[in-house]
């Protein structure tokens, strides 16, 4: 017997319009959209029903696994806590970031991220998780041991995305030393001499390791059709380098020049949803709202605040006739799904997965009232 879900009296957010309709999901797939109304099914009370959100870059799992310096939590328990907050934010597909490469900031020992990935596979097999999880490898290419960490994942089918990162001072995210001083000198309480030595070590590591590691990881990803992301591109030269490596996702460009160049090259430009909600970058770089105005923003990521992914589209579309709610919802649903080759989700359309979110927005902060993944309620 087929399993059916009927949602009625809903404001369905489709790709290009909002319609008052009922929705039928059969055996996990959207079977019909009926604008004539229905007396059957669960009454949505006029709330929005949107596609399940697709999250490509979240660092949110890491603090669950390591909630304090030196503390390691049970991996399955950390995954379940992370997943619960993800699902409650309307996210039905999530790419969990796992850090590749250690440095003097600490990081994780070789094998720790592999253990989390093994736990993720087990948790999904045991039906412990609400959202569908994939792995995004955050590869710090300036790290001496990044390839050793990456080797643990060369045959893991959960890996669908890898980003090439270099957080050395004076470039990309930290174009000015003012930002770097705030992040590293002041927070660590380093003396001038200690900070200068720290900067020298970081720059030397970048000059020594970044180029060969970037090349090796990109080649490995192409062999397995793993989507490659650039990270913190600041210049046209950075974008040209990304193009040469076959990058499809440009994460957090730090200048308008890089954002324009990436978008023009056919890459999906990703920025943080917290940047939209706050109206500024936490590290002093460009505002994501400026990229929206320039029509060069394609994807939003919750980055470090899961709920920001459902909040930001409403902030963007408020009173904006040129950037409507359907336009904003694409940034967190259909475009990220398409960027990583997930063609079965991200839109409310017949034949696609019944990944859905009921959301009410009477005032500033939206309320996620229900979440379904493949027609099954998970939150």
pLDDT recorded at residue 284: 60
Mean pLDDT for all residues in the chain: 91
Q: Cα(23)–Cα(352) distance, rounded to whole angstroms? A: 12
| pLDDT reported for residue 25 | 98
pLDDT computed for residue 196 by the predictor: 78
379: in domain? no
What is d(CA 18, CA 106) in angstroms, rounded to the nearest whole number? Answer: 48
The confidence score (pLDDT) of residue 182 equals 57
Q: What is the pLDDT of residues 234-289, one digit of tens each?
A: 899 999 999 999 999 999 998 999 999 999 999 999 999 999 999 877 656 788 99
Domain holding 232: CATH number?
3.20.20.140
Which of the two residues, 288 and 190, has the higher pLDDT score? 288
Per-residue confidence (pLDDT) for residue 21, from 0 to 100: 96
The per-residue DSSP string of 120-176 comes to HHHHHHTT--SSEEEEEEEEETTSTTHHHHHHTTTT-TTEEEEEEE---TTBTTB-S
Is residue 21 a part of any domain in this protein? no
Q: Is residue 359 part of a domain?
A: no
Distance CA 326, CA 197 (A): 50
Residue 195 lies in a domain: yes
* φ, ψ for residue 150, nearest 5 deg: -60, -35
The closest alpha carbon to 370, from 44, 20, 58, belongs to 44
Residue 184 confidence (pLDDT) above 70: no
Q: 214 lies in a domain?
A: yes
**Domain of 262, in residue numbers:** 52-345
* Higher-confidence position of 279 and 47: 47
- Among the listed ranges 30-39, 177-186, 254-263, which one has the minimum average pLDDT value? 177-186
Q: In this predicted model, what pLDDT tens digit does every residue of 203-218 receive, in sequence order?
A: 888 888 999 999 999 9
**Is 363 domain-assigned?**
no
- Annotate 98-107 with b (16+ C-beta within 10 A) or e (fewer): bbbbbbeeeb
* Residue 20 located in a structural domain: no
337 assigned to some structural domain: yes
The total number of structural domains that make up the chain: 1
């Amino acid at each position: 017997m087929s399993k059916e879900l009927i949602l009625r009296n809903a404001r369905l957010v489709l790709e290009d319009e909002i319609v008052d309709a009922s929705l039928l999901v059969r055996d996990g797939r959207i079977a019909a959209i009926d604008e004539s109304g229905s007396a059957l099914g669960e009454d949505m009370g006029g709330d929005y029903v949107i596609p399940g959100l697709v999250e490509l870059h979240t660092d949110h799992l890491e603090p669950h696994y390591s909630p304090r310096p030196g503390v390691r939590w049970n991996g399955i328990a950390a995954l379940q806590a992370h997943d619960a907050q993800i699902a409650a934010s309307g996210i039905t597909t999530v790419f969990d970031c796992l850090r590749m490469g250690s440095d003097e900031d600490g990081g994780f020992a070789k094998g720790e991220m592999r253990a989390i990935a093994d736990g993720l596979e087990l948790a999904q097999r045991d039906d412990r998780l609400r959202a569908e999880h994939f792995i995004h490898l955050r590869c710090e290419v300036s790290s001496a041991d990044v390839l050793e960490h990456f080797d643990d994942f060369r045959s893991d089918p959960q890996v669908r995305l890898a980003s090439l990162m270099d957080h050395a001072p004076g470039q990309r995210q930290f174009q000015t030393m003012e930002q770097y001083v705030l992040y590293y000198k002041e927070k660590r309480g380093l003396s001038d001499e200690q900070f200068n030595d720290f900067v020298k070590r970081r720059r030397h590591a970048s000059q020594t390791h970044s180029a060969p590691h970037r090349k090796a990881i990109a080649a490995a990803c192409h062999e397995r059709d793993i989507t490659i992301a650039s990270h913190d591109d600041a210049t046209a030269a950075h974008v040209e380098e990304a193009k040469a490596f076959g990058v499809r996702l440009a994460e957090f460009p730090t200048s308008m020049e890089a954002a324009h160049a990436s978008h023009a090259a056919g890459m999906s430009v990703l920025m943080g949803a917290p940047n939209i909600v706050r109206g500024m970058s936490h590290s002093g770089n460009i505002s994501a709202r400026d990229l929206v105005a320039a029509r060069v923003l394609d994807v939003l990521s919750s980055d470090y605040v899961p709920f920001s992914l459902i909040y930001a589209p409403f902030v963007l579309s408020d009173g904006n006739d040129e950037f409507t709610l359907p336009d904003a919802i694409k940034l967190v649903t259909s475009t990220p799904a398409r960027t990583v080759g997930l063609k079965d989700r991200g839109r409310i359309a017949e034949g696609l997965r019944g990944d859905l979110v009921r959301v009410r927005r009477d005032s500033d902060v939206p309320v996620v009232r229900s979440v379904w993944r493949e027609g099954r309620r998970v939150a």
